[in-house]
């Protein structure tokens, strides 16, 4: 990582004061979302949705104490292949790589 | 404060957005050619779009004292049919003559497909032949990191100079590679996908302001034409200097875009 040329002038306490409540709310949103997924009916015996699996793995990154969390979460939710695909499967993206062969 | 929004799709925005941007201090914008949210059915559809970008949008912007510029190309979301894309590309030479056109963009990849790459390479060759500035769209979400690397490799196979190419929509997992290879990098401020104003401020704190700018990429989807002034407020709230803010939101766009004699920041 490059040396910081424009460091954040705020102290650690300033940062927490400024952003804690906003991110407390975002954390509760994630908790509520996971509860909502649990409450929703399952169609047959489907396995956990790949997006939820990725989200759970990302949650582990947040608390592993290693830093550089945003980049690592984005990497975890990135296609790591390097070959061009034969045909574009539509135009959209779903936020994390679908399981191979799913056509998602 | 005076700022430039170097990537915004005003054809999808209301006149009221122009008014609010002007009130917030915007003096100049650049609008890359992109997907309209639906596939155009004929080259004539693109002909009309290019007229809109070079005739009616500059006039609409001027009513609010904003200088409007644009970039032209066939965007990667409509590049999966190379025959069709080439027909549209044949329109580009005549429109490149127009006075508000800064270069080729936003070209790039969307789903990292073979046909997208073919058309990207043809645009790069076209830009190289005509010594044009280039503005690059990188893919969304899970496709971004792979696509950004493939695009930079494709550019490295041309004679285009990295300091005449801006790679847009960088995030924390791509910004370092883009800057390390000598390109300009754009951070797009979106409510859900791409960067937020807070994360853009974080990236500036980690990487500095050299060859880095931010934009709203406001368009027909979930986006915010006032995202750049919101990032300015975020930087100011943290106590960053007026110079840092001015560099990221005015001077850097002027330096990159000023490589075209047609660019007028309108901040004098
Ligand atoms: Zn765009």
Chain B residues with CB-CB distance to A96 below 8 A: 141-142
Contact across the interface for A93 and B237, Cβ inside 8 Å: no
Does residue A2 sit within a domain? Answer: no
Domain range enclosing B10: 3-256
- List, for residues A79-90, the tens digit of each pLDDT value: 999 999 999 999
CATH number at B204 reads 3.20.20.140
- List, for residues A65-79, the tens digit of each pLDDT value: 999 999 999 999 999
Does residue A92 sit within a domain? Answer: no
Chain B residues with CB-CB distance to A55 below 8 A: none
Give the count of domains, chain A. Answer: 2
Q: What is the mean pLDDT of residues B115-136?
A: 98
- Which of B131, B33, B39 shows the shortest CA–CA distance to B91? B33
Here the ipTM equals 0.94
pLDDT of residue A101 exceeding 90, the answer is no
Does residue B40 sit within a domain? Answer: yes
A16 touches chain B (CB under 8 A): no
Does residue A31 sit within a domain? Answer: yes
**CA A88 to ligand 1 center in whole angstroms:** 19
Q: How far is B179 from chain A (nearest CA, A)?
A: 10
Token code pair at residue B149:
């690397």
Phi, psi (deg, nearest 5) at residue B5: -100, 100
Shared domain check, A15 and A36: yes
- List, for residues B178-225, the tens digit of each pLDDT value: 999 999 999 999 888 889 999 999 999 999 999 999 999 999 988 999
- Alpha carbons B112 and B150: distance in angstroms, whole number: 8
- List, for residues A25-59, the tens digit of each pLDDT value: 999 999 999 999 999 977 665 668 999 999 999 99
A30 touches chain B (CB under 8 A): no
Contact across the interface for A5 and B140, Cβ inside 8 Å: no
**CA B9 to ligand 1 center in whole angstroms:** 7
- Alpha carbons A91 and A45: distance in angstroms, whole number: 29
Chain B residues with CB-CB distance to A102 below 8 A: none
Domain range enclosing A20: 10-41
Does residue B263 sit within a domain? Answer: no
pLDDT of residue A103 exceeding 60, the answer is no
Give the count of domains, chain B. Answer: 1
At A100 the pLDDT is 80
- List, for residues B49-76, the tens digit of each pLDDT value: 999 999 999 999 999 999 999 999 999 9
Token code pair at residue B71:
């970039």
Does residue B261 sit within a domain? Answer: no
At A45 the pLDDT is 57
Q: Which residues pair with B184 in a beta bridge?
A: B166
Does residue B172 sit within a domain? Answer: yes
At B5 the pLDDT is 98
Helices and strands per DSSP (H, E), number in chain A: 3, 0
**CA B217 to ligand 1 center in whole angstroms:** 5
Shared domain check, A37 and A51: no
Q: Which residues pair with B249 in a beta bridge?
A: none
Minimal Cβ distance to A93: which of B116, B140, B173: B140
Does residue B34 sit within a domain? Answer: yes
Q: What percent of chain B has pLDDT over 70?
A: 100
A100 touches chain B (CB under 8 A): no
Does residue B267 sit within a domain? Answer: no
- Which of B218, B256, B267 shows the shortest CA–CA distance to B103? B256
- Alpha carbons B268 and B264: distance in angstroms, whole number: 10
pTM (2 decimals)?
Answer: 0.95
B114 touches chain A (CB under 8 A): yes
Q: Can you point out the beta strands (E) in A1-104?
A: none
């Amino acid at each position: 990582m490059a040396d910081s040329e424009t460091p954040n002038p705020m102290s650690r306490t300033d940062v927490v004061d400024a952003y804690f409540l906003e991110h407390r709310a975002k954390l509760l949103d994630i908790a509520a979302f996971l509860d909502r997924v649990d409450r929703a009916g399952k169609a047959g015996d489907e396995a956990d949705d790949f997006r939820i699996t990725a989200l759970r793995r990302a949650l582990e990154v947040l608390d592993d104490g290693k830093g550089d969390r945003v980049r690592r979460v984005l990497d975890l939710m990135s296609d790591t292949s390097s070959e061009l695909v034969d045909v574009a499967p539509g135009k959209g993206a779903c936020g994390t790589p679908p399981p191979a062969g799913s056509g998602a | 404060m005076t700022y430039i929004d170097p990537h915004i799709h005003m054809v999808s925005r209301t006149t009221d957005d122009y008014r609010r941007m002007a009130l917030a201090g915007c003096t100049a914008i650049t609008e890359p050619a992109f997907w309209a949210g639906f596939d155009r059915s004929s080259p004539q559809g693109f002909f009309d779009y290019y007229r809109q970008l070079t005739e009616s949008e500059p006039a609409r912007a001027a009513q609010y004292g904003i200088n409007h510029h644009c970039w032209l190309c066939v965007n990667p979301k409509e590049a999966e049919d190379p025959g069709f894309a080439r027909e549209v590309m044949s329109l580009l030479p005549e429109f490149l003559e127009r006075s508000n056109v800064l270069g080729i963009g936003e070209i790039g990849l969307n789903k990292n497909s073979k046909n997208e790459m073919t058309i990207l390479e043809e645009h790069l060759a076209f830009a190289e032949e005509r010594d044009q500035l280039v503005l690059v769209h990188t893919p969304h979400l899970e496709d971004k990191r792979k696509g950004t690397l493939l695009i930079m490799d494709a550019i490295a196979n041309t004679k285009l100079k990295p300091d005449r190419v801006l790679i847009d929509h960088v995030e924390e997992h791509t910004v370092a590679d883009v800057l390390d290879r000598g390109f300009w990098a754009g951070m797009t401020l979106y409510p859900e996908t791409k960067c937020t104003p807070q994360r853009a401020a974080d990236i500036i704190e980690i990487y500095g302001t050299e060859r880095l700018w931010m934009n709203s990429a406001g368009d027909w989807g979930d986006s915010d034409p006032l995202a750049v002034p919101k990032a300015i407020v975020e930087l100011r709230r943290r106590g960053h200097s007026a110079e840092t803010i001015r560099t990221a939101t005015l001077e850097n766009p002027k330096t990159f875009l000023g490589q075209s004699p047609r660019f007028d920041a309108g901040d004098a």
